[in-house]
Amino acid sequence: MASSSLLEQVAAYYESKLTAHGATPAGVDWNSEASQLLRFEQLLRIIPTGGRTGAVNDFGCGYGALADYVGVHHPGWSYSGFDVSPRMIEAARLRHAGRAGRTFTADLAALGKAEYTVASGIFNVKLETPEDAWTDYMMATLDTLGSLSHAGFAFNVLTTCSDPNRRRRDLYYADPVAVFQHCRARFSPRVALLHDYPLFEFTVLVRL
């Protein structure tokens, strides 16, 4: 995992969004519910169809919006959410109180291994962190996603294929081909790169 100072800065940033907007897509820094749901659709392509059930980890879960999507599209699957922000976990627990098969924690050691682990948006906001340090953080976190997964993991990243004049200095953009090649070399030859949906990002599916 990244240094505690880096994670504290990220947690503070997202907690400010939660304070301003509550448990909504804007509260986790997405510009709309439609874009949030589109990201979920791409990420959960990692889960095979055919009636299987199992467990999915949501790494960087925010207020737990993905739990509702899993419940609708993959009924019978259990869900565990992890976030570095205790306030996000508090909001998630309140929002999902009484719902079976959904757990939330800010303690990484308490997050068990699941069939699949997904991470949405956790690599986007680097703030003032130098790009090389953020790249190191992303690569280390991918190792963590792999270690938490029996069958595979999925994540998204902003793309360097976006227009340079539209990029923000506080956000992190990655080369999709380089990330794809890294995942094939380090984790599995069974890797998919999704870059055909209408957002300035890409999704990677790694099947272990």
Please give the CATH architecture assigned to the domain spanning 4-207: 3-Layer(aba) Sandwich (3.40)
Beta carbons of 183 and 204 less than 8 angstroms apart: yes
**E-only strand ranges, 49-112:** 55-59, 78-82, 102-105
Beta carbons of 108 and 117 less than 8 angstroms apart: no
Q: pLDDT tens, position by position, for the chain (208 residues)?
A: 556 788 888 888 888 888 898 888 777 876 788 999 999 999 999 998 877 899 999 999 999 999 999 999 999 999 999 999 999 999 999 999 989 999 999 999 999 999 999 999 999 999 999 999 999 999 999 999 999 999 999 999 999 998 888 899 999 999 999 999 999 999 999 999 999 999 999 999 999 9
What pLDDT was estimated at residue 49? 83
Token pair of 144, please? Answer: 């963590």
**3-class secondary structure, 27:** helix
Dihedral sign (CA 197, 126, 189, 176):
positive
What pLDDT was estimated at residue 3? 64
| Residue 87 Cα to chain centre, angstroms | 17
What pLDDT was estimated at residue 133? 94
Per-domain boundaries in the chain: 4-207
What pLDDT was estimated at residue 7? 85
